[in-house]
Structure 1
Amino acid sequence: MAKNVKKKNYTIRSVSNAFDLLEQFHGDVSEMGLTDLSQNLQLTKNNVFRLLATLQSRHYVEHDSHTEKYRLGFKTVELGQTVIRQRGRLNNSREIIEELVKECNETVCVSVMKDFCSVNLDVVECDHPLRVIPRIGVRLPAYCTAAGKSQIAYFADDILKKYLSENQLQPHTENTIIIPEQLKRHLREVASQGYAIENEELDIGVVSVAAPIRDYMSRIIGAVTLLGPSQRLSTKLMESTFIPLVMKGAGEISAKLGYCGGQAEEIHPVLLGRAQG
């Protein structure tokens, strides 16, 4: 067998279609009907129905007989929780982020990079009636989130160039940085100071600060983020309380992972994959 045969040649179309179907339920999309799924996937209704029937039999999707729509089943939740449990770094970080929340009473989460996006894996919420609830497992654009910026700031120059060329910088708010050169200058500041601030760049009214997590080889493998309403996370409190707390938390998690200090290495693409497993 030729060594240069690409892995994609081994993909099974029906399995790929099933995953495409599951991925239709993202963000705020909780339910979808057969017709919408058929149109989105560009498959016949018969093919989609067979996929749904198979996934439903394995509890990956559920059917609401009243609305005639489908939603994700509890099996997907079970798999997601299994991933979280199997990530040793989360076992090391949960107690620390719980302590951070006790100290500041703001929401704190831990995230990693996946396909040049920031993905929240664990969160501890504060008890304020008005609070920000991070989206778990959802891919968020790295360039306009504190967690993402605190990691891509350490990209090697060629990887950052690749990131900027392959990812269109969309304006989510008027504060989103969408000019590549301006973003590069901003990221250099982030790398220099060791933390990133997101000031209503993804969602209006939400401010966050994040610091990178490093492992025993000084590689950046994730980030700790503190986030809350802009009316509560003032610049003064950011500087006096929240930034020091986030950097302390990231440092404590890094220490548990064997990080002994020193300069963090630039992130290389292969490490983006390792950071997920």
Structure 2
Amino acid sequence: MTTENKTTVIQSLQIGLNILEILAKEKEPLKFTEIQNLTSMTKSNLYKYLATLSQFGMIYRNPHTNTYTLGHKLVQLGNIALGHTSLIEMVIPYFKKINEQANLTVLLAVPSPQGPLISYISSSVEYGINIGAQMGTHLPLNCSTGIIFSSFEKNTIMKEWELEELMKFSKSELEQFKEAKEKTKQLYFATKKEPLVTHVSSFSVPILNFDEELLGAITVVGITETVPKTLDDPTGQFVLGIAREISEYYGYTRKPLKGI
């Protein structure tokens, strides 16, 4: 006779967390009746949960509007959690997995006023190739990383960089870039053939946070013949799955990354 192992959960805690998720997903503060409609809870039970969550600072009730929002305690805990692990520390073990899976070089680019900044590189053991960039290098708009940033970066600090880069494009290059950008917004995947160095190509995927802000881009680089050209490739799917895991750590839950 076999016994099936089941994860034991505390139902009351699960309900409380569900209330927090509902408040997190809504753009505006919610009234008691709105929360009740979304949870299907009785008034008495919901009141107890809201009172408890308020007492511990997990939610806040505005006394003037009688509406509820997420509380200061969650902000405090979130900042502590993010402070424990930097983005670079987070990606290191994942990048090693990509190295092992695909034998390709992986780099992390983060936002800066001068363009995507390479802040970490994990080189493939088998192929020590010149990828045309080093730690601290700012990448141009017309590469897979640049397309990701143009597609998902919301911060205005990079707009001047993008406008300056666009002025370098010919009319045909501008049309190609616009097409690539629209496709990238749909697939969460950008690819570019030999943008910096002959025979070296790349593809990139975004890392997003809870507010759909771009934290950085994962870019995979290698000899042109070895780099996936479409998202259908298993390596592309693998890397996009890793980007999703990292994004989920930073709270990206609103919608799944395309292609997965």
Seen in structure 2, the aligned counterparts of structure 1 residues 219 and 186 have a Cα distance that, compared at 3 Å, is: same
Task: Kindly indicate whether residue 126 of structure 2 is the aligned counterpart of residue 140 of structure 1.
Answer: no
The answer on whether the counterparts of 2:104 and 2:222 sit within 8 Å (CA) in structure 1 is yes
The answer on whether the counterparts of 2:147 and 2:190 sit within 8 Å (CA) in structure 1 is yes
State the number of aligned residues: 173
- Aligned Cα root-mean-square deviation (Å): 3.2
The answer on whether the counterparts of 2:144 and 2:190 sit within 8 Å (CA) in structure 1 is yes
Task: Name the TM-score, length of structure 2 as normaliser.
Answer: 0.57
Aligned equivalents of 2:116 and 2:229: distance in 1? 24
Aligned equivalents of 2:203 and 2:172: distance in 1? 19
Residue in structure 1 matching 2:174, options 157, 171, 180: 180
Seen in structure 2, the aligned counterparts of structure 1 residues 162 and 180 have a Cα distance that, compared at 3 Å, is: farther
What residue is the counterpart of 1:245 in the other structure?
238
Aligned equivalents of 1:230 and 1:193: distance in 2? 21
What residue is the counterpart of 1:102 in the other structure?
100
The answer on whether the counterparts of 2:98 and 2:106 sit within 8 Å (CA) in structure 1 is yes
- The one-letter code sitting in structure 1 at the alignment partner of 2:199 is G
The answer on whether the counterparts of 1:224 and 1:249 sit within 8 Å (CA) in structure 2 is no
**Cα displacement string for residues 120-173 of structure 1 (whole angstroms, at most 9, x for unaligned residues):** 1111111124534441111121x22212211211357x99986554335547xx
Aligned equivalents of 2:139 and 2:214: distance in 1? 18
What residue is the counterpart of 1:213 in the other structure?
207
Aligned equivalents of 1:177 and 1:204: distance in 2? 23
Bigger radius of gyration among the two: 2
Seen in structure 2, the aligned counterparts of structure 1 residues 130 and 160 have a Cα distance that, compared at 3 Å, is: closer
Seen in structure 2, the aligned counterparts of structure 1 residues 178 and 122 have a Cα distance that, compared at 3 Å, is: farther
Q: Give 5+ residue unaligned stretches, structure 1.
A: 1-84, 265-277
Aligned equivalents of 1:94 and 1:185: distance in 2? 32
The answer on whether the counterparts of 1:132 and 1:227 sit within 8 Å (CA) in structure 2 is no
Q: Give 5+ residue unaligned stretches, structure 2.
A: 1-82
- The one-letter code sitting in structure 1 at the alignment partner of 2:142 is C
The Cα of 1:86 is off from its aligned counterpart by 9.1
